[in-house]
Amino acid sequence: MLFSDPVNGPAETLVAELRDYPEWHRGRKRYGAWVVPITQPDVLDYVAHARDALADLLHPCPLRQPHVTVFVCGFHRPRGRAHDDFPSVLLRRQRALLRRMAHRPAVLPLARPDSFASAAFVPVEDSAGVIARWRGLLGSVSNEIRQADYVPHITLGLYRRPADAPTIRQRMAALEMPPPKLAATELHYVTYKASDQRGPLRTQHRWPLQDTGTAEA
């Protein structure tokens, strides 16, 4: 549910409790996902300015690099035991599929900032179905770990205090529009420390988006 929906949207923000969640990770160390890293200077500047404008509402997240999550893989492990583990064999299969396919650079439109109950974000539009094709490819060999419908976006931050829906809609409307487009030139498989929700992403594999399949960096 989005705050931009006045009928079905949340009534107020959901405050994030920043702590270790041992009941979730159960001693597992790192969590993995495929993402589009953001290196475009005007988009990075916009994210920084938007976070500053919402600083009274959001937890700071200085270490987590801005990105668009494409596919959530699960706990990065050599072998899978639990349903939310992502064993090495599945990562190898995903990389093999990427190696055989041509993936061109993409231009993804950005829209006015919006918000889930838990987090403010910049929507990324996928009218051409580019992200959907990447997700279909990655999902052909692995079930995605997901608790809600997929919405492509750039996270601005998790909420640190309650605020009602009219306040959130007013604050989102007061933000400037983002740059019109995001250039996606690479896919990265990244992991982060499962005990730190705001920790840095570690790039494990990079996949350049070019006109033909190429060896990864």
Helices (H), 58-192: 88-100, 130-139, 165-174
- Tens digit of pLDDT per residue, the chain (217 long)? 899 999 999 999 999 998 889 999 999 999 999 999 999 999 999 999 999 999 999 999 899 999 999 999 999 999 988 999 999 999 999 999 998 877 789 999 999 999 999 999 999 999 999 999 999 999 999 999 998 999 999 999 999 999 999 999 999 999 999 999 999 999 999 999 999 988 999 999 999 997 654 444 4
Helices (H), 6-157: 22-25, 41-53, 88-100, 130-139
**Phi, psi angle pair for 187, to nearest 5°:** -110, 140
**What fold, for 27-109+124-154+182-208?**
Cyclic Phosphodiesterase; Chain: A, (3.90.1140)
Both tokens assigned to 104: 């061109």
- In whole angstroms, give the CA distance from residue 72 to residue 143: 9
| Residue 195 DSSP code | T
- In whole angstroms, give the CA distance from residue 74 to residue 105: 26
- In whole angstroms, give the CA distance from residue 126 to residue 72: 18
Any idea where the domains of the chain sit in the sequence? 27-109+124-154+182-208
- pTM to 2 decimal places: 0.94
